[in-house]
């Protein structure tokens, strides 16, 4: 079969399954914008800019200043001549924020997970991974060449059995999201820390969506994070004990063999981190929490799934919202399991209460009201 024929067949297979996708340009800053191709005005509830920091004046000004001083790019990998004072400064402040000895900066959160997992896991290691972990964790475990055991979502009893049965003298690593990206539910971090301590296993957590917690107190946990969600910029990091982060610097291919993050992105993240740690940051978190309470009282995160079931229902629901000027894309296989297609609503401190109320009213109109989280549980459905 020729390459042209193979590409044609693969494309037809995706189209035939009704899963062909393409980006749509949104011309706007913050929740409001104009959506291609017709330029209709929409309010979007799909961004991960949880605190609205992509538009914060101090963040934007810091990026401008870095552009003026250092230019558009870093020009090389960190270990060559790509490291700038900003990179080192941001790493120090990330470590302070996470209460760890050190942090290592990566170009993206995806690259951070690949780097951490391929360094810390490997042949002879058992990696125990929650079944709903992010794609970057899945890819990192595959590339690590470790034996990977998938445990049922948040099932600590199953995890305990996997660790107990792994065999004497075998290293084990447990990896989990702290806030799961499709359901918006939380890992029981305290119980995971206890389980790992019991079995002498290393715990690695991805805190990409943990703008409101959960908090982690154990300084031996390896923490992976992103600069593109809570901080509204671009990049990722690995934080933890220095003996681990130093090894990551010397072994992680996604750190060693890639150009350093741009000065503008790094400066923006540094400015955003300072906002988050200030009194203004607490106000923004309170605004975000208030918006969550308007939409889904008691839900623990700004990710609120409205499970529709079949793909057709999710697409129809998204189209009905769009007719009302509200953009919430349908999430469907292969991103989620068949039968769990959904609207993935994400809230921001930048949304106004009126915008959130309009979303609530629209969901009721199209037949998908959101119940309080204590009744509906993870994966909120009507």
Which residue's entry shows tokens 């309470």?
293
**Residue 290 CA to chain centroid, in angstroms?**
21
**Two tokens at 316?**
């129809």
CA dihedral 292, 111, 332, 210 (to 10 degrees): -20
**Which residue in 233, 229, 246, 269 sits closest to 103, CA to CA?**
246
Q: Are 63 and 369 in contact, with CB atoms under 8 Å apart?
A: no
Please, are residues 105 and 87 in contact by the beta-carbon 8 Å criterion?
yes
Residues with catalytic roles: 181, 209, 229
Q: Which residues pair with 306 in a beta bridge?
A: 343
Max CA separation in the chain (angstroms): 63
Six-digit token string for 219: 């300084």
Whether the CB-CB separation of 147 and 169 falls below 8 Å is answered with: no
Q: What is the 8-class DSSP label of residue 106? A: E
């Amino acid at each position: 079969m020729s390459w042209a024929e193979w590409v044609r067949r693969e494309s037809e297979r995706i189209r035939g399954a009704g899963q062909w996708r393409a980006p749509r340009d949104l011309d706007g800053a913050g929740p409001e914008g104009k959506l291609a191709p017709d330029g209709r005005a929409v309010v979007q509830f799909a961004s991960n800019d949880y605190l609205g920091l992509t538009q914060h004046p101090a963040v934007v000004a810091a990026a401008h200043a870095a552009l003026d001083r250092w230019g558009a790019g870093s020009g090389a990998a960190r270990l060559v001549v790509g490291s700038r004072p900003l990179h080192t400064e941001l790493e120090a402040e990330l470590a302070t924020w996470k209460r760890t000895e050190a942090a290592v900066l990566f170009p993206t959160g995806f690259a951070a997970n690949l780097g951490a997992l391929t360094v810390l896991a490997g042949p002879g290691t058992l990696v125990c991974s929650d079944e709903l972990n992010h794609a970057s964790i899945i890819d990192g475990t595959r590339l690590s060449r470790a034996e990977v055991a998938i445990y049922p979502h948040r099932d600590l009893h199953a995890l305990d059995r996997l660790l107990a049965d792994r065999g004497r003298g075998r290293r084990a690593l447990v990896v989990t999201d702290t806030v799961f990206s499709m359901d918006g539910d939380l890992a029981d971090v305290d119980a995971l820390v206890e389980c790992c301590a019991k079995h002498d296993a290393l715990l690695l957590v991805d805190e990409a969506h943990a703008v409101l917690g959960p908090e982690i107190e154990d300084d031996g946990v390896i923490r992976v994070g992103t600069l593109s969600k809570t901080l509204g910029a671009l990049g990722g990091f690995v934080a933890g004990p220095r003996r681990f982060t130093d090894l990551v610097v010397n072994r992680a291919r996604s750190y060693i063999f890639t150009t350093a993050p741009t000065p503008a992105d790094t400066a923006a993240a540094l400015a955003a981190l300072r906002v988050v740690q200030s009194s203004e940051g607490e106000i923004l978190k309170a605004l975000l929490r208030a918006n969550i309470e308007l939409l889904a009282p008691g839900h623990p995160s700004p990710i609120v799934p409205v499970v529709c079931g079949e793909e057709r229902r999710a697409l129809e629901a998204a189209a009905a919202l769009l007719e009302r000027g509200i953009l919430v894309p349908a999430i469907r296989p292969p991103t989620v399991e068949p039968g769990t297609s959904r609207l993935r609503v994400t809230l921001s401190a930048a949304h106004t209460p009126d915008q959130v109320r309009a979303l609530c009213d629209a969901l009721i109109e199209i037949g998908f009201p959101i119940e309080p989280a204590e009744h509906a549980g993870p994966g909120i459905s009507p």
